[in-house]
Amino acid sequence: MDISNIYSARDNMDYLVSLMMQQEMRPKWALEDKQQVYNLKKSTLTKLDSNLSSLYSKINDINDSVFDFFAVKNATSSDTDNFTVSAGTNAQAGNHSLSVTRLATSDRRVSVQFTDDNFDFTSNSSDTGTAAITEAQGDQSFYLTGATTDLNGDPDTYDLHIEIAATWFDGTNTDSEILAHIETQINATMATVKSGNEYIENDEVITASIVTESSGVSRLVLNSGKTGSDNAIVASNPTGNLLAYLGVDNGLYVDGGQDFGSMKLLTELDSSFTLDGLSFTRDSNSITDAISGLTINLLNLTEVEQTITIDTDTETVTSDIQAFMDDFNSSIDFLKENARMNPDTRVRGALSNDSTYSGLRSQLLGVVLNQVTSDDAFDRMADIGIGMDSNGKLSFIDSEKFTSALETDTNIVANIFNNSSDGIATMLEQTISNFTKTGGIIDSSKSQIDDTMVRLGTSMKRVDNQLLAKENRIRSDLARMQESMARLNNQSSYLSIFSSSF
């Protein structure tokens, strides 16, 4: 082999450098391996946080101090076309009878009838018996008061101040033009008031509209928005008599041949119904205060008694507990895969070398199998039909036993899960919170990894600088060797030529 050929080309030089640097690269590879291990651990911790947080959310619902998770009620209506019902957790199981004789309506003020092309506003008396309006009477000013609720949900009111300039009644404007202007002024004022009072809802605004019963004949209609007599429009005419002329200044319309108005008494704005033989009136069709925890939504009249049934909603509770168990099993499976050595492959999970996480799986399983403090015979989840199946999953071993416990007394089930001392959900919430809360165990572990990664990054830069210096030295040494070999080759050629001349 002619060793001089090794140093004769650039490619050969790079190859030699690469061979010589292989041994020197081992410290860098070791650092890269550590970075991969820590990156994998941090990624695994993020996934664990997500799994445990989902489980924690389910547990929070179970432990809700306001909403009784296990006392969910189901209310059904025997006539959903005419009324629907829903029940809160404080509703008592049982049956109720209901009939509806009147629905709540909003206050609807209908003016007298006007012929579009006439000039009755300024030339004739109204059907209300009020004299015509003239420009000499000055500007017409009136107030409309509507009902709303304040930011705390308490009853409140708002005022619309409407002004119609006297020039509209100079005898040159037709009835249809004056009605249209009044309509515009009311709606524009309402829009301004609403924009300045964000708590006024869309269904609480007073609206003005013009209806045409037949060609060329119109009326002005005011609507209160909210239903019920307590929410009726309050109208007043501080200047002029425009509201009286229109016939919309009050809502107490009586039979007497007038072709305006919409009711005999303001109380007719309220709903009227009979519940369990007792008579009720309300200013709404959504009834929330007749029976504790029950909401009744009246849709149509039903004078024939119908039935409302309230019972424990075992299906919803069962479904929600199943969702809790699914998240629990998911967290256990994740810890099984990532926080211990796989017995089959002998591969260690990313968290298996950290006792904080390798012991969490056993800790969680110990909680759900724990005996809780109880004044009766039910003190384990097994007593209500929940346990570990053949695959090691938390599941309904006997769903009928769980349903029976709910139907007997929801407190039996609630005590096992969320009694304040050692309930299953109570203990799980405390354990998981230590890991998932801000600044908790997982956050602390990830912070430590970040610190370690910074140190590894610093070490990596130092090693890279050392490797670069080493490579430069090797290249320099090889370059000198290459030059020496070139000189030797030249000398060898010269000696060969010299010797051949003798």
Angle 68-74-75 (CA atoms, 0-180°, nearest 5)? Answer: 130
Q: What's the pLDDT score for residue 1?
A: 41
Residue with tokens 């009766």: 376
Tokens describing residue 251: 């809502």
Give the total residue count for the chain. 502
> Locate tokens 């291990």: which residue?
37
DSSP string of 366-423, one letter each residue:
HHHT-----SSS--SGGGGTEEE-TTS-EEES-HHHHHHHHHH-HHHHHHHHH-TTT-
Residue 151 carries which DSSP code?
A: T
Give the pLDDT confidence score for residue 347 in this predicted structure.
Answer: 84
Residue 438 is predicted with a pLDDT of: 94
Map residue 460 onto helix, strand or coil: helix
Q: Which helix (H) or strand (E) holds 318?
A: helix 314-338
Q: What is the pLDDT of residue 397?
A: 95
User: What angle do the packed helices 399-408 and 314-338 form, to 10 degrees?
Assistant: 130
- Which helix (DSSP H) or strand (DSSP E) does residue 39 occupy? helix 26-62
pLDDT at 158: 95
Answer whether 0.75 is exceeded by the pTM: no
Structure tokens at 163: 């002004």
Q: Nearest to residue 477, comparing CAs of 16, 24, 27, 22?
A: 16
The low-confidence residues of the chain, meaning pLDDT below 70, are 1-11, 250-264, 490-502
* Residues 6+ away with beta carbon under 8 Å from 241: 130, 131, 133, 137, 140
Q: Distance (Å, rounded) from C-alpha 295 to C-alpha 278?
A: 17
The Cα–Cα gap between 75 and 437 comes to: 38
Rounded-to-integer distance, Cα 453 and Cα 37, Å: 10
Rounded distance between C-alpha atoms, residue 84 and residue 424, angstroms: 37
Give CB contacts under 8 A, 24+ apart, made by 190-198: 190/160, 193/158, 193/159, 193/160, 197/148, 197/158
362, 383 Cβ separation under 8 angstroms: no
